[in-house]
Amino acid sequence: MKFLKKLSSLLLAALMLAACLPVQALADDVPYQTYNYDYWEEIVQIPAPYVPDGAISGVSLNCGTFASPQDICVAPNGDLYIADTGHNRIVVVDGTGRKVERIIDSFENEGETDTFNAPTGVCVSENERLYVADRENQRIVVLELDGTLDHIVRDPQSDVLPAGFVFKPLKISVDYADRIYCIAQNMFQGILVFETDGQFSGFFGTINVQLTLWEKFWKKVATKEERQNQTLYIATEFTGMDIDESGFVYATNIDENGLQGVRRLNPRGEDVIKKGRNENVGGDLWINGSGAYAGPSQITDVVYRGEGIFSLLDRKRGRVFTYDHEGNLLYIFGGLGTQEGTFTTPVAIEQWNGELLVLDATRAEIYRFSPTEYGSLINQAVALRYDGDEALAVPLWERVLELDENNELACSGIGKAYLSAGDNKAAMKYLKLGMNRDYYSVAFKRYRSEILRAHLGQALTVLGVVIVAAVAVTKLRDRFKAKGRGKKEKGGVSG
C-alpha cells in the first residue's frame, strides 16, 4: 500500500514536470494547414511560416464591435486604419494595436457636418492623406489625417463611361503622385484612374474576356435571337489592390480557371507579372473535386510586402499565398474555421510591423499573424536574392534546410551561391535538388568543360595510340595474308 502511494506521487510529480516543459511550435499547433507545392505540383507539408498572434476587434479596442468592416490600411507612420463599413466610420489604431487614436465618423464640408455612408475602402497615401471610398454616397472623400476635408471626388465624366453609370467605389489605392486607382461596383472595364486634381482620366488594366474555341464556335452558329438570350461574356471585376514602391499596381481578380488571381500592372496598364515555373499565380493548384470547398481559389485582396514579395488572400478556403517577384510560391497558410487564426469571410490583408493582418468581415475582427523562424528566414533570404546579395542568403537557406529539408527554393539558392563561388559539382547537386533546370545547365556546362579541359590531353593521347596501333595491325595482317596467299598460289602452280 505504501509502495503504491509512493508510486502514484512519483507519477504525479513526473506529470507536473512534463507540463512545465516548454512547448515547441510545430505545424500541428496551428489551427490551419501550412504547405507548399513542389516542382511536380505535389502538396508538401512545411513548418508553419506564420502563427496566429491574437486579434484586434472593436471589443479589444473599447470602441464597440465593428459592423461588417471591409478594408484596412496601414499608414506610413504605422497607424492602422479600419473601414468600419456598417458603422459608417473610420477607426484609427495606433502602432501597438491596443489603443484607438481617433475615430473619424464625420467631417466639415462647406460649413456643414458631413458623414460617410458605407465606407468600403480606405487608403492612406505616401503624402499622408486619407482616402475613403464612400460607396453609398457615390464619392471618394479625401481627408487630411486629422480629419479635415481636402477635396471630394465624385461623378466621373467621360465618353468611355456607359450612360447612366452610377459610381460606387469599393476599393481604392493611391500612388506616390496622388493618382487614385479605384475599383467600382459593376465596372468591368477596369480600374478607374483619377488624376491628382480629381479628374477621371481613364481605365486601367482591363481584363480581357477569354473565350474558349467551343464558345466561339457556338457564338458563330447561334442566330441573333439566340445570342440575345445567351448570358453575356463579361470580364471579371477586380477585387483588391496594392501599389508597390515603384508605382506598379497589384490588382486581384477572381479567375474561374484558377490560373491568375493577381495582375501586376505597369503605368501603361499592362500586366507584367511573372508567373513562376508553375505558370500560375492563382492560389491553389489542386482545385478539382465537387462541393463548396472545391474549385479555384477566390483571391480577394493582395498586399505588396516589399522586395518583390506579395501575399494573396483567398476567401474560398481562407488561405494566404505568398509569392516572390518571380511568381514562385514561398509558403501557404491559413484556413476557414471558427478558431482564432482561422477565418469566416476574409476580405482584406495588410502587412504591419512585420506581421500579417487579415480582416474578417463577418466576425468583425482583425487576426494578427507573426512570422516564425522559418517564415522570417524565407522572407529575409528572398529579400537578399531580390537585392542581388545571393551569397549573403546562403546561411539563411542552410538554416531553412535544417527546418524543411525538401525546400526547393533553399536548395536552389545554395546551388546558385556555389555556382558563383566556382564549385560546379556542389552547385549541380543542390540545383538538381532544387529542380532548377536553367542554372543546373549552367553548372553542368562549366563542370563538363572543366573535366574536358583536364582530361582532353590524355584522351587524345590514348586515341592517337589506338589509331596507330589499329593501322599497324591491319597493315601487318594484310602483309601476312598476302604472303600466305602467295604461298598458296605457288603451291597451286607446283601441284
Partner 1 sequence: MRAAFGKEKWRYLLYTMTHPVDGFYWIRHQDRGSVPLAVLLVICFSLCFSINRISANFIVNDVEPASVDSLQELSGVLLLYVLLCVGNWSITCLMNGSGRMKDIAIAIGYGCAPMIPALLIATVFSQFITVEEGAFYYLIIGLGVAYAVIVMLLGIRQVHDYTMGKTLVTLFLTFVAILFILFVSLLLIDLIGQVYNFFRSIYTELVFRM
Virtual torsion, Cα 221, 224, 230, 233, nearest 10 deg: 80
441 near partner 1, rule: CB under 8 A: yes
Q: Which is nearer to partner 1, 305 or 416 (CB)?
A: 416
**Cα distance between residue 148 and residue 109, in whole Å:** 9
Stretch that binds partner 1, among 45-53, 83-91, 272-280, 434-442 (CB under 8 A): 434-442
> What is 410-473 written as a DSSP string?
HHHHHHHHHHHHT-HHHHHHHHHHTT-HHHHHHHHHHHHHHHHHHHHHHHHHHHHHHHHHHHHH
Find the shortest distance in angstroms from Cβ 19 to partner 1.
42
Stretch that binds partner 1, among 115-123, 340-348, 417-425, 444-452 (CB under 8 A): 444-452
Residue of 22, 197, 438, 453 that binds partner 1 (CB under 8 A): 438
CB 183 within 8 A of CB 173: no
Going by the DSSP 8-state scheme, the letter that residue 66 receives in this structure is: -
Q: Which is nearer to partner 1, 225 or 438 (CB)?
A: 438
What Rg do the C-alpha atoms of the chain give, in angstroms? Answer: 33
Find the shortest distance in angstroms from Cβ 41 to partner 1.
9
The contact mask relative to partner 1 for 29-48 (x = CB under 8 A, - = no) is: -----------x-x------
The C-alpha cell at 307 is 522586395
Q: What 3-state class would DSSP assign to 486?
A: helix
Find the shortest distance in angstroms from Cβ 451 to partner 1.
10
Find the shortest distance in angstroms from Cβ 270 to partner 1.
28
Residue 368, strand partner residues: 357
Q: How far apart are the first and last CA of the chain?
A: 123
**Cα distance between residue 304 and residue 335, in whole Å:** 21
Residue of 216, 219, 445, 481 that binds partner 1 (CB under 8 A): 445
Q: Which is nearer to partner 1, 426 or 435 (CB)?
A: 435
Residue 386 φ then ψ, to 5°: -60, -35
Q: Which is nearer to partner 1, 275 or 432 (CB)?
A: 432
**Cα distance between residue 272 and residue 246, in whole Å:** 13
Q: Which is nearer to partner 1, 203 or 444 (CB)?
A: 444
Stretch that binds partner 1, among 50-58, 298-306, 316-324, 438-446 (CB under 8 A): 438-446
Stretch that binds partner 1, among 18-26, 169-177, 250-258, 432-440 (CB under 8 A): 432-440
Stretch that binds partner 1, among 120-128, 365-373, 443-451, 459-467 (CB under 8 A): 443-451
The contact mask relative to partner 1 for 373-412 (x = CB under 8 A, - = no) is: ----------------------------------------
Contacts of 105 (CB under 8 A, 6+ apart): 87, 88, 89, 90, 115, 116
* Cα 22 → chain centroid: 33
Three-point CA angle 449, 455, 460, nearest 5°: 110
**Cα distance between residue 208 and residue 310, in whole Å:** 23
Q: Which is nearer to partner 1, 197 or 438 (CB)?
A: 438
Size of the site for partner 1 (CB under 8 A): 12
Residue 103, strand partner residues: 91
Residue of 102, 154, 399, 432 that binds partner 1 (CB under 8 A): 432
Residue 253, strand partner residues: 238
Find the shortest distance in angstroms from Cβ 326 to partner 1.
17
Find the shortest distance in angstroms from Cβ 446 to partner 1.
10
Find the shortest distance in angstroms from Cβ 42 to partner 1.
8
Residue of 43, 259, 285, 435 that binds partner 1 (CB under 8 A): 435
Residue 349, strand partner residues: 358
Q: Which is nearer to partner 1, 445 or 483 (CB)?
A: 445
455 near partner 1, rule: CB under 8 A: no
**Cα distance between residue 337 and residue 25, in whole Å:** 20
Q: Which of residues 197-236 bind partner 1 (CB under 8 A)?
A: none
Q: Which is nearer to partner 1, 103 or 435 (CB)?
A: 435
Find the shortest distance in angstroms from Cβ 272 to partner 1.
24
Find the shortest distance in angstroms from Cβ 439 to partner 1.
10
Stretch that binds partner 1, among 16-24, 82-90, 182-190, 430-438 (CB under 8 A): 430-438
Q: Which is nearer to partner 1, 364 or 443 (CB)?
A: 443
Regarding beta strands 100-104 and 33-37, do their DSSP bridges make them parallel or antiparallel, or are they unpaired?
Answer: unpaired
**Cα distance between residue 16 and residue 34, in whole Å:** 31
Residue of 227, 448, 481, 487 that binds partner 1 (CB under 8 A): 448
Half-sphere exposure of 210 (CA within 13 A, CB side): 8
**Cα distance between residue 237 and residue 190, in whole Å:** 7
In 3D space, the residue among 173, 154, 174 whose CA is nearest the CA of residue 165 turns out to be 154
331 near partner 1, rule: CB under 8 A: no
444 near partner 1, rule: CB under 8 A: yes
Interacting residue ranges for partner 1, rule: CB under 8 A: 40, 42, 432, 435, 437-438, 440-442, 444-445, 448
